[in-house]
Structure 1
Amino acid sequence: MNEENIQNNTPQASRNELLAFVWETIKVIVISLAIILPIRYYLVQPFFVKGASMEPNFEDGDYLLVDEISYRFSEPSRGDVVIFRYPEDQSQFFVKRIIGLPGETIEVKNNKVIIYNSQSSGGLELQEDYLSSEQETLGNMLIRLDGSEYFVLGDNRLASSDSRRWGPVNKSLITGKAFLRAWPFTKFDKIKGAVY
């Protein structure tokens, strides 16, 4: 009996236990990376809101999760909150709300956004209940979107650099749709697009 205990405590046995532990640790890391990396790079991306352009709905420092796969199988919808590469500097990412869809004509006039499309040839004035009552949609413009362009605006219209300033966003620049606010925990919630 004592001989067995002595044999199990040999340097060879300790080395084998250490190697088994290292091997198990490596397997756990590799399996974790095999699961996490595809999710992070192809399905879900984190995004920190910077600035006040989406207040009061999204504030500076909010942590959002972005669905990167849905727009590969479907088109963005009016009211979706999207993350995209800034058209004038594609190393920067912006968050805005989709207002105009491909093929539509968008008019901004007298603090109103009017959509002209095949269903509303006379124009449909957007009722934007998600905006605070103090908001004004400044500008005077009429723009026709081509087959892959979207007109985006910040919810804080007075403090937003958006399509009124630098034009429409091409679909190829849209990273994905914000679907969950993960931080702050007091505002943890699923993000729903606006209904018009």
Structure 2
Amino acid sequence: MILKFLRVRGASLAPLLKDGDFVLASRLPLWFRPPRTGEIVVFTHPAYGRLIKRVAQILPNGSLIVRGTDIDSVDSRTFGAVQPHQVEGVVIARIARPER
């Protein structure tokens, strides 16, 4: 995947990303550098599937601590650090869902 268009499900990064929004994720930045603190990444977790979270911290071994903005978000507080090979891409654009 170089570019992937994904629909946001859930509100773990609200108000930045809301349920029903779309994001464009790219693997291209990761060809040149590791994810950075503050970036929003898409990754696959074996138990939870594909998730979108913000990088909160990068550990000395290169693994990532990821967080959602919701206190009840399933994130590194639940499943621990994310390994770099799990990261599919960095979110480079957001398309808000149409308001009704």
Q: Same fold (TM over 0.5)?
A: yes
The residue correspondences of 1:40-189 to structure 2 (distance < 5 A) are: 42-89=1-48, 92-103=49-60, 147-156=61-70, 158-184=71-97
AA at the equivalent of 2:90:
K
Distance 2:46 2:56 in 1: 17
What is the number of residues matched between the two proteins? 99
Structure 1, unpaired ranges of 5+:
1-41, 104-146, 187-196
Structure 2, unpaired ranges of 5+:
none
Say whether the 8 Å CA contact 1:87–1:169 is kept in structure 2.
Answer: no
Secondary structure (helix, strand or coil) at the match of 1:180 reads strand
AA at the equivalent of 2:68:
G
Deviation per CA, 1:121-159: give whole Å up to 9, x if none: xxxxxxxxxxxxxxxxxxxxxxxxxx2310000012x23
Secondary structure (helix, strand or coil) at the match of 1:165 reads helix
Range that drifts further, 65-74 or 164-173:
65-74
Distance 2:7 2:58 in 1: 25
Distance 1:162 1:87 in 2: 13
Q: CA RMSD in A?
A: 1.6
Larger RCO of the pair (alpha carbons < 8 Å, separation 6+): 2
Distance 1:100 1:181 in 2: 22
Q: Which has the higher helix share?
A: 1
TM-score under structure 2 length normalisation: 0.90
Distance 1:183 1:65 in 2: 11
Shift of 1:88: 2.4
TM-score under structure 1 length normalisation: 0.48
